[in-house]
Structure 1
Amino acid sequence: MASLNVGNLGDYLREQRRNAQLSLRQLAEAAGVSNPYLSQIERGLRKPSAEVLQQVAKALRISAETLYVRAGILDEREREELETRAVILADPSINERQKQVLLQIYDSFRKENGYDAAAAKASAPGAAPKTEGPAADGSAAAGDGLRQ
């Protein structure tokens, strides 16, 4: 079954690389991986780590979470959650305290609707490094700003 995900990932990577008008060699260089290794990923012969996928995503200027989903590292719901968090954390119009409060509210709504953020994160290896800032998971540290 894993080969299906990996093949799916390879086809998707090839399509994204061609859309970006990059040769295999150019993408490999930009991502900091070897040309033969990237070729094997595209052909579905290798399953890259989350770190390699992140490097490739950055080189292609696409969402790493999308690649994680294609590789079977992350499910679609988790990807959407991570992307929502990333947008909140990247917003320059609100300060850090406001971001943490907003993330805490977001987590409470998700929990109320039956989505447990802690369980989702535990099941997603490689997803944790993508979250930025202290207590971006909406843990107790984010709530501390409300009590002060």
Structure 2
Amino acid sequence: MKQKPKTKLRDLLKSKKAKTRKLSELSKTEQNRLAKLNGMLDELRRRENVQNRQLQTWLSEDEYAQVDIEWKEQLELREELKDKPDDLKRYEDKLKEATFNDNKAERFCKRGNKDKSTKFRNLSESHCEDALEILQAIIC
């Protein structure tokens, strides 16, 4: 199981959870802020976008700065993951070709063209075998 990296924002949220107050004890401004932040949280959980200006409006300067820092860390991580070994790229290319040819074979099969369907199915299997060989070479 992956462990989430500890960050200042997560620590801050944990400490705030420890100091939680009842909703009735919050001022109108705090209740409004809480409602807006919960709404943004729901959007993020649904994998929808939340605009930066909304975050900047409803988060404190420190909280917004922390979000910005974590976003930059995320971009760096994504950039590192783009740097794949050549063998892995070859494997992915073979897999894409196999999938493409299998889809073509399926289309020809539905149209009743058995000869072309068989041709593309065999080509797809060949690419799958190549991809498997590449994968086995990566693992060993």
- TM tier, shorter chain? under 0.3
User: TM-score, normalised on structure 2?
Assistant: 0.24
The structure whose RCO (Cα within 8 Å, separation 6+) is larger is 1
Higher helix share: 2
